[in-house]
Amino acid sequence: MKHNPDDRSDNVERIQFNIDHTIRNMELAEEMIEETDNPKTKKALQEKNERREEALNRMRLEIRDEALDRERGYD
């Protein structure tokens, strides 16, 4: 059985899409936090945004590494 070659050519764009999507979700959650009076909902949304922020930090590191690898020709 043949394995598909590792195609990393679109990794930077894919990661950027995920970053943009995560930021948009954080913004929507912030709007919901401002609009709700339910303390449980606010807390849950704030905790979710904290996890999203951590994910963003990891994605930013990953996109940097992928961009450097792309420049170097994926050696």
Q: Tell me: the pLDDT tens digits for 5-64?
A: 677 889 999 999 999 999 999 999 999 999 999 999 999 999 999 999 999 999 999 999
Three-state DSSP at 25 gives helix
Rounded to whole angstroms, the Cα distance separating 6 from 10 reads 11
Checking if the pLDDT of 3 tops 90, the result is no
Predicted pLDDT of residue 6: 72
Count CB-CB contacts under 10 A for residue 39. Answer: 8
Predicted pLDDT of residue 2: 66
What is the amino acid identity at position 52?
A: R
